[in-house]
Structure 1
Amino acid sequence: MASDFTVNAEPVHFKEAIDFFRSKLRLGTRAWTDIWQDQHARTFVVAGAMKDDLVKDFQEAVGEAIAEGKTLDQFRKEFDDIVARHGWSYNGGRGWRSRVIFQTNMRGVYASGRWQQVERQKSRRPFARYVAVRDDNTRPEHQAWHNTILPVDDPFWTTHGPPNGWGCRCRVQSLSARDVKRLGLKVSEKAPEIRMRDAEVNTPEGRVRITVPEGIDPGFAWNPGQPANEPARLGG
């Protein structure tokens, strides 16, 4: 079985995903909630970055980090240069903010490219397997979804295709029937039950109550790879 994906100094080899990232529409935003769920598939934003030239510099720095496999420490040098050059005042500490920008984009691009591969291979490998890292930092729900094996076209993957939250390290693996047998696993009889929960998110206009699937952070109930295969759109 392939090792779990880790954000490190290894380039993302999905050319389609890298090109897709670089083609994203740049938008200035007040907060991460200004752009919601799969709208992020077609847009590049940095919460609180309103000026286009500032967002452009971040997009180029992140794109370079993704393509060249730069480390977080290397990206932080770029982050510091961009902040100093634009005089940008941001919320949160430098370590936390740079890590969120780096990891969220890196994992999102990896997941997008991986799912595009899954779609291309589904005639030969018709199943997708949910793979969790399974350590002390893994969410209980993600632990429970580990080894869920369903057809690639099952609706479960539309909302539960990882990453499923901030810092989520889960991934999908495409499998043939022979692969499933070789791993000593079985195709799941049905998808895990999806229970919904109420949550609140902070927006510039105040707190907003929303409903999200249990185990998924607000704003993550979508599959990063699916919008990449659809016509460009910007909307809810």
Structure 2
Amino acid sequence: MPETIDPFKLPFDEAIAYFRNKTPLGSLAWDNFADAAQDFAFTVATVTEAELLNDVYNLILSGLENGDSYGEFKKGFDKAIDKAGWNPANRPYRTALIFNQNLRNAYQAGRYKQMSDPEVLKLRGFWQYVHRDSRVPRPHHLALDGKIYPADSPFWQTCYPVNGWGCRCGVVSLSQRDLDREGLTVDEPPQETVTVVDKVTGDRKKVPAIGGKPIGEPGFSTIPGGSDPSQKKAILEQAMQKLPQQLQEQVKKALEK
């Protein structure tokens, strides 16, 4: 079953702008456009048909802009994939995942945009990691619940949620006054690290870990919405190099629009 997400709680402009800046692109696997490329590519794993991608993209966008419920999304999604003749394995799970993950990513990108505004940072210079309810919590995410780090800590560069498929973690900003009033203290980020590989660039980087598990899992070790918009074309062109020639041509045409 999909989690309860009320899109009416996501109507702020930053989340919508983040999603609007994505381009629907065909892919063979979810990590064809991973890490920073997720900021600019809207994909549905194994879907290459442009019409279907655009239909699903517009359904998600409507959810953000108009507050469509999951039921409304599912109705439109079922119609779109039936028309395209695509019947994914574990269809109910995939339907819920596509809806929830895209709304969650847009929400967190919007939150990051708001909280990283220079004027906001002057007043609220601390960020607190929040682990939200999950039927099967990730121990390495649960261990961070309530931890507070400076907003400019390198920790956030690779561990700002969303940190994996189905991750519901979030971040709230705090002022020094909040800390003093609640008796809260600033924590030390995890010192353990593991090496992950950027699926798009091939770059290897060390990221914070707990119990041998990277907090920002492979494909999710960048800040949602944290990429430089001026680099959109360059990032997507680099990502598409691993695609078959036919899909590369499709990406090029999409970027020319």
- Which residue pairs with 1:206 in the alignment? none
TM-score, normalised relative to structure 2 = 0.78
* Alpha-carbon distance change, 194 to 226 in structure 1, aligned in 2, over 3 angstroms: farther
Q: Is the 8 A contact 1:11 1:68 kept in 2?
A: no
Q: Where does structure 2 lack aligned partners over 5 or more consecutive residues?
A: 240-257
Q: 2: distance between equivalents of 1:145 and 1:167?
A: 17
Q: 2: distance between equivalents of 1:137 and 1:220?
A: 19
For 1:167, the aligned partner's letter is G
* Alpha-carbon distance change, 159 to 11 in structure 1, aligned in 2, over 3 angstroms: same
Q: 1: distance between equivalents of 2:168 and 2:99?
A: 14
Q: Is the 8 A contact 1:11 1:66 kept in 2?
A: no
For 1:191, the aligned partner's letter is P
- Which residue pairs with 1:49 in the alignment? 47
For 2:164, the aligned partner's letter is G
- Which residue pairs with 1:59 in the alignment? 57
Cα deviation for residue 174 of structure 1 reads 0.8
* Alpha-carbon distance change, 36 to 144 in structure 1, aligned in 2, over 3 angstroms: same
Q: Is the 8 A contact 1:129 1:147 kept in 2?
A: yes
Structure 1 runs of 4+ aligned residues shifted over 4 Å read: 209-213
Q: 2: distance between equivalents of 1:100 and 1:197?
A: 27
- Which residue pairs with 1:101 in the alignment? 98
TM-score, normalised relative to structure 1 = 0.84
Q: 2: distance between equivalents of 1:232 and 1:26?
A: 17
Q: 2: distance between equivalents of 1:19 and 1:39?
A: 16
Q: Is the 8 A contact 1:134 1:143 kept in 2?
A: no
* Alpha-carbon distance change, 136 to 25 in structure 1, aligned in 2, over 3 angstroms: closer
Q: 2: distance between equivalents of 1:57 and 1:135?
A: 30
User: Which string of whole-angstrom CA distances, capped at 9 and with x for unpartnered residues, describes residues 159-186 of structure 1?
Assistant: 1000111111110111110112223311
Cα deviation for residue 81 of structure 1 reads 0.8
- Which residue pairs with 1:174 in the alignment? 173
Cα deviation for residue 221 of structure 1 reads 1.1
Q: 2: distance between equivalents of 1:172 and 1:166?
A: 17
Q: 2: distance between equivalents of 1:135 and 1:129?
A: 18
For 1:101, the aligned partner's letter is I
- Which residue pairs with 1:204 in the alignment? none
Q: 2: distance between equivalents of 1:178 and 1:58?
A: 44
For 1:106, the aligned partner's letter is L
Moved more, 128-137 or 32-41: 128-137
**Residue of structure 2 aligned with 1:35, choices 33, 40, 54:** 33
Q: CA RMSD in A?
A: 2.5
Matches within 5 A, 1:153-164: 153-164=152-163
- Which residue pairs with 2:146 in the alignment? 147
Moved more, 60-69 or 111-120: 60-69
SS at match of 2:158: helix
Cα deviation for residue 187 of structure 1 reads 1.3
Cα deviation for residue 211 of structure 1 reads 7.9
More helix by share: 2
**Residue of structure 2 aligned with 1:24, choices 3, 22, 40:** 22
